Amino acid sequence: MPRIARLFPLLLLITKFSLPLSAALPELSSIEPLEFDEAAQRLVARGDARLDFQDTRLTADRITYYQEYSLADALGNVAISRDGYRLIADRLSYDTQDSVFAVDILRTGQWPIYISGVNAGGTTEKTTFQGATIYYGNPGPFTPNLSSDQIDFTTEDGSLRMDATTFRIGSVPVAKLPSYTYYVDQMPYLLEVRAGSDSELGTYLQTTTLFPVNDWLRAGANLDLYTERGVLVGPTAQYSYNTETNTITGALSTGYISDQGDPDPGLYDKPIDSDRGFVEWRHQHHIGERISVTASASYWSDSEVTRDFRESYFKDNQQPDTFAEAVYAGDNYFLSAFGRFRPNDFQLVQERLPEVRFDLLPVPVFNTGAYQRFSASYAHLEEDFGDVTDDIDQASESDRFDFTYRIERPILLTDWLTLTPLAGARITHYENQEMDSLALGRYNDPFSDNPATVELKDDQYTREIYEVGFDLEARAYATYATQNKTWGIDGLRHLVRPVMRYRYFSDPDSDNEIAAIDRTAFDLNRPLLDLSDLRNVDSIAETHLTRLGVENLFQTRAEGYGSRTLAALNFYQDILFEKQQRYDGDEQDTFNATWVELMLSPAPWLKFEIASRFQTEDMSLEELRSRTSIRSGEIWQIGLSTDFLHQNIDQYRIDFIYRVNERHSFLLDTRYDAESGQFTKTEIGINTRLNNAWEIIYALTFRQDASRESDVEFTVRLQLAGQ
């Protein structure tokens, strides 16, 4: 999208070159001597004629300037240059008094947008093009373009209003519209083609298209052909609608296929029916400055449909989520309604039908220097194990009322040290609780192969949890007159912030009292410390810990203005006085975990990030995630990624791009699993530019022991350059 926005200054070049003419006298020059007609007050320049006015230059074979009428007339090989943009024409006339101009046989552009027209004219506010064509890429036999007999360009909103618009590939018409409005910050169309062959799908062709319907809607289709599976088809759409009070954006992608193959079972070994399909919808709506609505829907007929037929969707969203939320932002509060739904029967989803919530942001408590915040919510929760296991028959549900309150008082001990004592409470009331006895037993003993059945004591319960603690933060910095031209360092600033956070949550004492639907999820990030922030509402346990940390930031002056971060180094240590079970079933240690996080970005061509966690008592590595990327200008780029989790994951990835020339690039992406000692996936490809408008990617993929995909796959993908 940012590159599409370059069309705006290109069009402004046609109109705004006129502004300096009225502000200062132009300078006219040429190779041949200037001719001056005193009676007509006319200057004529021939032979590399040049008219300069402030930052704009006009060149032509001949330029005539009428001083009395402030009129410039340029003829033959006319070129206008301003701020790095250029317009070519056969003839140009401009009236500086009325700010009216006319251009014949014009051409202008900057990649990826180019414009040609028979003529153009108008004022600085509105320009009309006759016989105009807008190209995406260099004009050629394969370049997508929009043509119209007349296009009106308005500088105020950057809109191009076209009459009888034709969308073409080269000179071949593809679609016609009676009229169309195109905004220069939007791409008018999308076309993506992917073809290939593997043992699971056979020879296949996948296509996605979007064409403009009107100024706020693009529509098209997903259309795929598979020799081993059949035909997949479904509508697609994108919309973007803006007024003074409303902003609406969204996208829809669908597909249906009567699968003629014999797909392997999906999640939980569920058989897959021949009627398969998916619907992906994303939506955002902002009303004024206070109301926003967000919705996301993902319907899949089975757990593997996008993995089989739309791998790019599956990579980004392997656990589809369907929800809707409306939020009203008050002066110092939020009022929201949130719903999470379960359209896919192969998933286990904690549904909220719905959750209504009020959040009061921190506000002062009179003139005490203390701040308080409050939240209240109601949620109807449901969870159904029936489709994912045969052992549990009864669905879980509850009506939950949840209230949180917190007060804190920052105390400035010195200029560099702040102590913030805090206290809070969380009161949760449950009504209409139901939960299968086996499900409750599994929740109480998640690491047992044969958990005992446990009965829920009552269908209603009230739980109280209290929080006390403090935050102790210090701040210090130092500056150094360090200079290094190689790394672009102009002075060095080091900011350091030692922190100590102490928290105690009282014992909920709620064994077998709660239908635990909002449970603790598998998460290896540092645990949240504030009671009111916890989302595992139904499984909050007694907590007593201290977290020590040191945060370091290294910065230098940025070119022009501000600062640039060179490095960040953070250390954290949790000390537990109340121990729980770890993710692997073992008991936590007192010195539970040490986190080390490092980020280095000393130059634009080098970036290094690492996040690690150690078992503190023996300093054994528990978890490691890292990413290193090195770039050599526009010639090559290499990245190395690691992903390690003790006794679970030990994987490495290398991705490499080498630009052979302006048209061809070599691609390599390989992944290695140290646990199995195998390269699990290797992709080798060549990226070719066609006419600077299209990218064609040829790829050969090798897989090892893939559960659904073919061991060898060849693909060819065609897409618009820059998409």
Query: How does 79-100 read in b/e, with b if 16+ C-beta sit within 10 Å?
Result: bbebeebbbebbbbbbbbeebe
Written as one letter, the residue type at 363 is V
CB of 714 closer than 8 Å to CB of 699: yes
Residue 698 resides in a domain = yes
Cα within 13 Å of Cα(349), Cβ side? 18
**Residue 110 shares a structural domain with residue 171:** yes
**Residue 175 shares a structural domain with residue 250:** no
For residue 348 the two structure tokens come to: 């286990």
> How far are the Cα atoms of 58, 72, 105, 124, 155 from residue 94, in angstroms, in the given order?
12, 5, 15, 11, 18
Q: Which residue range forms the structural domain that includes residue 121?
A: 4-183
pLDDT of residue 146: 83
Residue 673 resides in a domain = yes
**Residue 690 shares a structural domain with residue 641:** yes
> How far are the Cα atoms of 13, 184, 380 from residue 86, in angstroms, in the given order?
8, 18, 62
CB of 569 closer than 8 Å to CB of 498: no
Nearest to 113 by CA among 178, 57, 160, 177: 160
Q: Which residues contact 269 (CB under 8 A, 6 or more apart)?
A: none
pLDDT of residue 5: 43
Cα within 13 Å of Cα(337), Cβ side? 5
3-state SS, residue 111: coil
Question: What span, in angstroms and rounded, lies between the C-alpha atoms of 536 and 635?
Answer: 48
Residue 143 resides in a domain = yes
CB of 466 closer than 8 Å to CB of 505: yes
**Residue 55 shares a structural domain with residue 138:** yes
**Residue 215 shares a structural domain with residue 143:** no
Question: What span, in angstroms and rounded, lies between the C-alpha atoms of 583 and 446?
Answer: 10
- Backbone φ and ψ of 551, nearest 5°: -110, 130
Residue 407 resides in a domain = no
Cα 600–609–633 angle (5° rounding)? 65
Question: What span, in angstroms and rounded, lies between the C-alpha atoms of 426 and 402?
Answer: 7
**Residue 148 shares a structural domain with residue 228:** no
Written as one letter, the residue type at 392 is I
Question: What span, in angstroms and rounded, lies between the C-alpha atoms of 622 and 594?
Answer: 9
Question: Would you tell me how many other CB atoms lie within 10 Å of the CB of residue 503?
Answer: 21
**Residue 175 shares a structural domain with residue 300:** no
pLDDT of residue 11: 53
Question: If 0-12 CB within 10 Å is exposed, 13-18 middle and 19+ buried, where does residue 57 land?
Answer: middle
pLDDT of residue 1: 38
Nearest to 588 by CA among 631, 622, 550, 637: 622
Dihedral Cα 259, 264, 267, 268, nearest 10 deg: 130
Number of domains in the chain: 3
3-state SS, residue 233: strand
Of the three residues 290, 325, 347, the one that is the final residue of a domain is 347
3-state SS, residue 285: strand
Dihedral Cα 6, 7, 10, 16, nearest 10 deg: -100
pLDDT of residue 6: 46
**Residue 132 shares a structural domain with residue 271:** no
Residue 415 resides in a domain = no
CB of 20 closer than 8 Å to CB of 54: yes
Three-state DSSP string of 330-371: CCCEEEEEEEEECCCCCCCCCEEEEEEEEEEEEEECCCCCCE
591-630 tens-digit pLDDT: 888 999 999 998 888 999 999 999 888 888 999 999 999 9
DSSP secondary structure, 587-644, as one string: BPPSEEEEEEEEEEEEETTEEEEEEEEEETTTTEEEEEEEEEEEEETTTEEEEEEEEE
3-state SS, residue 170: coil
> How far are the Cα atoms of 90, 125, 203, 415, 562 from residue 118, in angstroms, in the given order?
10, 20, 46, 70, 47
Residues of the chain with pLDDT under 50: 1-10, 16-24
Residue 25 resides in a domain = yes
**Residue 151 shares a structural domain with residue 55:** yes
Beta strand 35-37 pairing with 144-154? unpaired
3-state SS, residue 105: strand
Q: Which residues contact 81 (CB under 8 A, 6 or more apart)?
A: 56, 57, 59
Residue 387 resides in a domain = no
Q: Which residues contact 39 (CB under 8 A, 6 or more apart)?
A: none
Of the three residues 183, 218, 251, the one that is the final residue of a domain is 183
Domain CATH code at residue 132:
2.60.450.10
Nearest to 115 by CA among 91, 85, 92: 85
CB of 258 closer than 8 Å to CB of 224: no
CB of 85 closer than 8 Å to CB of 110: yes
Question: What span, in angstroms and rounded, lies between the C-alpha atoms of 504 and 405?
Answer: 15
pLDDT of residue 507: 93
Residue 361 resides in a domain = no
**Residue 123 shares a structural domain with residue 271:** no
Question: What span, in angstroms and rounded, lies between the C-alpha atoms of 313 and 192?
Answer: 14
Question: What span, in angstroms and rounded, lies between the C-alpha atoms of 563 and 566?
Answer: 9
**Residue 264 shares a structural domain with residue 217:** yes
Three-state DSSP string of 89-105: EEEEEEECCCCEEEEEE
Question: What span, in angstroms and rounded, lies between the C-alpha atoms of 647 and 582?
Answer: 14
**Residue 118 shares a structural domain with residue 216:** no
151-195 tens-digit pLDDT: 888 766 667 788 888 888 888 887 787 777 776 666 667 888 999
Return the bridge partners of 196, or none.
Answer: 204, 715
pLDDT of residue 97: 66
3-state SS, residue 19: helix
pLDDT of residue 431: 95
Of the three residues 131, 150, 183, the one that is the final residue of a domain is 183
Length of the chain: 723
First to last CA, the chain: 8
Question: What span, in angstroms and rounded, lies between the C-alpha atoms of 355 and 295?
Answer: 15
